[in-house]
Structure 1
Amino acid sequence: MSLDALRPSPLVDQAVETLRAQIAGGAWPVGTRLPGETTLARTLGVGRSTVREALRALAGAGLVRARQGAGVFVVATSPVEDWRTRLRRAAVTDVYEVRMLVEVQAARLAALRRTPDDLTALDAALHARHEAARADDAAFVDADIALHAAVVAAAHNPVLTDLFAEFVPALRQGLIDLVELLDLRAHDPGPGADSHAALVHAVRLGDAEAAGHVLQDELDRTLERLRHPGQPSR
């Protein structure tokens, strides 16, 4: 027997919005203990179970926190955004600055830790980037990101790999927009080919300093274009 997807109770949603509005409006300042479930249920005209679910939702949003034996207290007046939400809302230049910190160090580690399989993957990604010069802007950006992801993977640090993966959705559209806005591929359908080849070569040689330097220069140029799209790059 198949089951339909569960949906939040409209009453719970309404209770959450009402309580959230009260908190945001200052009815219960930070540090204040909320009225008990029975009182809230009576005030809102709902059952205690609905209030309980609404309080759980508010706790999940970082607005309230239960203290055993003391009650539920207001700890913030606005919801706490998760990491992915913050990335989506952040300026692409801010995301890019952090990406640089992560990726340049990953390139250095990749040069020290790369395996034969990593080198094969890097060669394949570099070739795919070269071939993508014949494709549209989105496909080229995807191929470029895939090469950078292969460098990060060669660092063999799962935290770096996961962190880079988190940046990709926030970066991708910004880079596509940049390529289209500046028409960067009008005269060179595969911009950055030499620097990316140099990066893979440095990783192959095990030269951590060269790998970090090449990538830093490449990312610096892109960041400058993101900051000043109307000006020629350095």
Structure 2
Amino acid sequence: MIVRREPLADQAAEVLLARVRSGEWQLGERLPGETTLAVQLEVGRSTVREAIRQLAGRGVLTSRQGAGVFVTALDVPEDWDAVLRRVDIVAVIEARVAIESEAAALAAERRTPVQLRAIRRALDLRGAPSPSLEQHVDADTAFHRSVVSAAHNPILIELFDGFVPRLRHAMVDMLRLRPNPARDSEGHLDQADHDAHVRLYDAIAAHDTAAAAELSRAHLLSLKESLR
């Protein structure tokens, strides 16, 4: 086996990150200049620049033209996929409550006629015969995404797209374990659950922001409670 030495820039980046984590530099504080850091780290200025570039890419430092390098985070933000692998389904549903209840209110306020038709189509597909829980989860996700999309907020849609599809298998497993799943093992629809989605559509169609938010919240909280 060939042992490869870690590049100097990588080592320098880790040393700088450790110093940030230790509190040597506070949030928003300016780092010493490249020359000073090069002496402290016993590396060349080009190595310091590359180390700073790496930490800037990881969200810890930022370079401001003519001003220097500043601390923008006290640690490397954890990878989103790693977070999702660790959290349980209850935490995911709680996050969905926060995102989707606000998205539903905004959708009721901002949706266009075209988007309302898209939500209706997604609702109809969700209620159509489905041979598997997997297909139901996909149809359900498509409905909720159509609502979030109608909110006209790119951050909300990015958050939704970022974690719901990655939890697809967990959602399928959850529905199999629920006492009253949205569909049973043979794919038969739970009408009460679907009716809750119909009421959400009706609130959005009526531009009722308060009702849309509450219906979205209530639906997801009932999903959470079913796991207890």
Tell me if both proteins adopt one fold, taking TM over 0.5 as the criterion.
Answer: yes
CA distance in 1, matches of 2:64, 2:114: 52
Shift of 1:145: 1.3
**Structure 1 residues 70 and 194: CA distance shift in structure 2, 3 A:** closer
* Counterpart AA for 1:129: R
CA-based RMSD: 3.9
In the alignment, is residue 114 of structure 1 matched against residue 111 of structure 2? yes
Which of 129, 133, 151 is the aligned partner of 2:130? 133
Correspondence 1:134-149 to 2 at 5 A: 134-135=131-132, 137-149=133-145
CA shift, 1:73, in A, is 7.5
Distance in structure 1 (CA, Å) of the matches to 2:189 and 2:148: 21
Deviates more, 1:118-127 or 1:55-64: 55-64
Percent identity between the two aligned chains = 40
Spell out, residue by residue over 1:162-217, the C-alpha distance to the aligned partner (whole angstroms, 9 max, x if none).
44334424654442331234483237633422221232233334444443343232
1:58-108 per-residue CA deviation (whole Å, 9 max, x = no partner) reads 3444555679999868787632347x4685355543443242233223323
The TM-score, its normalising length taken from structure 1, stands at: 0.66
Question: Aligned pair 1:155/2:151, yes or no?
Answer: yes
Aligned 8 A contact 1:40 1:51 in 2: no
Name the amino acid aligned to 1:123: R
Aligned match of 2:164:
168
Which runs of 5 or more structure 2 residues have no equivalent in the other structure? Answer: 1-5
* Count, aligned residues: 212
Provide the C-alpha distance between the structure 2 equivalents of 1:113 and 1:175, rounded to a whole number of angstroms. 29
Higher relative contact order structure (alpha carbons within 8 Å, sequence separation ≥ 6): 2
CA offset at residue 129 of structure 1?
Answer: 1.6
Give the gaps of 5 or more residues in structure 1: 1-8, 229-234
- Letter of the structure 1 residue corresponding to residue 139 of structure 2: A
